[in-house]
Amino acid sequence: MQGLSSCLKSFLRPAASVLLPLLLIGWIGHTVTTPVHRSLSRPLRNPETYNAVNKVSQHAQDKSIDDTSSRLIPRVNTDEDHLKICCLHANILDFYLHNILPRHDNKHRTMNRVRNDLQRISEDLETHGCNVTHYQDHQHAVQFRKNLVGMGEEQGINKAVGEINILFSCLQDFCVQTKNQTATEKVSTN
């Protein structure tokens, strides 16, 4: 029995010394080539911001009398470049910050936090290269504004605040930088 044990040990030692480095090389290679997503703005990954946005959205939805079959924020083709989609949603965020939120009477206790965090997100995305004015004429931005106007001012603004959670989710999903992107790669504005 001892002979079998020593034979097994003598076989496993060289095999382990060859296989272990190969496994490590494969694991390291996989780790290096697998993209890790990092959001382009800290509030986008903050669970407190996420919860505050959802509370403001739900509060507006509770006050709304419109049907849930219509949607202001258009769905986008997710096959497009994520960073372009990010900048498109940054444009819609800019519209929210300058045209929706200042005219909304939501007295929800988290509204100030939501406004501040959304302003920070907008500034961060601009720092990363999102030129929101470049996307003003994009078909989705135009469709959003058209849908909003079609609802009437008060109802449209309330509907937009009710959908702020959709906008936030889109920003979370598309405004990310992969670990493999170099520091010189900026958000494409073309």
Q: What pLDDT does residue 58 have? A: 92
pLDDT at 136: 75
Cα(first)–Cα(last) distance of the chain, in Å?
Answer: 73
Q: Is the pLDDT of residue 80 over 80?
A: no
- The partner residues of 37 in beta bridges, in order of sequence, read 178
Report the half-sphere exposure of 97 (CA within 13 A, side-chain side): 19
pTM over 0.85: no
Mean of all residue pLDDT scores within the chain: 76
Answer yes or no: is pLDDT of 99 > 90: no
pLDDT at 145: 82
pLDDT per residue over 85-97, tens digit each?
898 889 889 989 9
Task: Give the per-residue pLDDT at 50.
Answer: 95
- Residues 3-36 pLDDT 10s: 656 654 665 566 556 555 554 455 444 333 333 4
Query: Rounded to 5 degrees, what angle do the CA atoms 171, 178, 169 make?
Result: 15
Cα–Cα distance for residue pair 113/133, rounded to 1 Å: 25
For 37-85, what is the HEC assignment? EEECCHHHHCHHHHHHHHHHHHHHHHHCCCCCCCCCCCCCCCCCCHHHH
Tally DSSP H helices, then E strands, for the chain.
Answer: 7, 2
Per-residue pLDDT at 106 exceeds 90: no
In degrees, rounded to 5, the angle at the alpha carbon of residue 156 between the alpha carbons of residues 155 and 159 is 85
